Amino acid sequence: MTATNTVQAAPAPAGQLTAAQGTAMYIGAVLGTGVITLPALAADTAGPASLLAWAVLVLASVPLAATFAALGARHPDAGGVSTYARLAFGERSATVVGWCFYFAIPAGAPAAALFAGDYVESVVGGGTTTTTLTAVALIAAVTGTNAAGVRLTGRLQLGLATLLVALLVLSVALSLPEADTANLTPFAPHGWGSIAPAAALLVWSFAGWEAITHLAGEFRRPARDLSRATGAAVALVGVLYLSVAFAVVAVLGPAAAESRAPLGDLMAHGLGGPARLLAAGAALLLTLGTMNAYFAGAAKLGAALARDGALPVRLARGSEAGEVPRRSLALISALSFVSLAAVTVTGAGTKPLVLLTTGSFVMVYAIGVAAALRLLPRRSKGRAAAWAALVAVAALLAASGVYLLWPLAVTGAAVGWVQWRRRGGRSG
């Protein structure tokens, strides 16, 4: 029985994340596996001109990050972009956005974990077995961390981000004396038109500015701390990406295009000795930070979607600030293990997982920016950022091409769920 006449409901617990922890969460979400693999892939596509592709995406990140930060500060809810879509366009759009983000994580997380597994395998050997076991361990680790609660997640993320930034700065600083300007010529060996394909590859590196909106309600003072965390993260991520990309091209030269572990090669130039082991450690930290941030945001999103009827109601527990969405987290973890098992058994590799994830996030960006144009006050800085972000998103949509097929399929399923609910279907 519930003593409704004598016991008052306790107030919702206050958020615990600080601006510093929020900055670390952003860095974990954005600065991750891109540093591990993509400098070499971009160099192979465009040569030294790939540095322009990096610069373009850093600049595009500014309005995107500012737009989602403005939305998060104005509407701090665990639903994140899904909440903004609901406020702007209604239930169908909210469900589509929520499903696109939520069901992208079980594809992206195993891909990131396998990237790190490749680095570990390059040090200890063992082939596919080592790579797969590393991925399993990473998924299990972030599941356990997030199950312990957001406060622990934030503290761990702050420590990981600090160590990560120190490793990257150290490796770049020590390797730059070996940089040779001759490695920058010819600057565009594959023509200036190769910059666009290189930029399309690098989209994976810059996905994540929307992820922390799901944790906006977990900040102590969202209106102040979220904007501070965003500004600091954009600056740090931009400088680190450009520094690492320049060092890879200028130090490694033509060998950069053929490197399977560009960060490891860069560290070997700067540190020598146990550089490969350090690179594997850095890859693990990068991947752990990325997966940690995404699992935290997506688990909260799943609970909020269930709360609002967009997923089975059994997943709704943990949607309020300060609560731990363990059921939603368990579903994400289980689906991640299924995806990992599928690509391991079939030998398909990480490419299909990367493509599924990229297409989904571009769709989330498109709807999120459109919602911002409707929700943010006229003549505000956030609305101005949204107009600039709209141009960037249009370019991302054009670059995604067939990668949009997966989010379109998810969209169809989400709309079908809404129709079923409206016809009286049960969500539990």
pLDDT tens for 77-119 read: 766 777 888 899 988 888 888 888 889 899 889 988 998 888 8
Question: In the prediction, which pLDDT does 155 show?
Answer: 67
Taking the C-alpha atoms of residue 320 and residue 300, their distance in angstroms, rounded to an integer, is 9
Taking the C-alpha atoms of residue 378 and residue 399, their distance in angstroms, rounded to an integer, is 30
Q: Which of 210, 204, 206, 212 is nearest to 296 (CA)?
A: 212
**Is pLDDT above 90 for 138?**
yes
Taking the C-alpha atoms of residue 428 and residue 417, their distance in angstroms, rounded to an integer, is 13
Q: Which amino acid is at 351?
A: K
Question: In the prediction, which pLDDT does 261 show?
Answer: 73
CB atoms within 10 A of CB 252: 25
Q: Which pTM value belongs to this model?
A: 0.75
Strand, helix or coil for residue 111: helix
Strand, helix or coil for residue 97: helix
Q: Which of 243, 217, 219 is nearest to 229 (CA)?
A: 219
Question: In the prediction, which pLDDT does 48 show?
Answer: 93
Q: List the single range of 151-155, 231-235, 365-369 with lowest mean pLDDT.
A: 151-155
Q: How many helices (H) and strands (E) does the chain have?
A: 16, 0
**Is pLDDT above 50 for 9?**
no
The domain segmentation of the chain, as residue ranges, is 19-416
What phi, psi does 17 have (nearest 5°)? Answer: -70, 135
Percentage of the residues of the chain whose pLDDT score is greater than 70: 85
DSSP string, 336-401: HHHHHHHHHHHT--SHHHHHHHHHHHHHHHHHHHHHHHHHSPTT-HHHHHHHHHHHHHHHHHHHHG
List C-alpha distances in Å: 385 to 67, 69, 216, 307, 356. Answer: 6, 10, 19, 30, 27
Question: In the prediction, which pLDDT does 51 show?
Answer: 93
pLDDT tens-digit readout, 212-222: 666 666 676 66
Taking the C-alpha atoms of residue 73 and residue 424, their distance in angstroms, rounded to an integer, is 35
Tokens of 323: 């609560």
**Angle between the 19-30 and 150-175 helix axes, to the nearest 10 degrees?**
60
Question: Taking the domain 19-416, which CATH number applies?
Answer: 1.20.1740.10
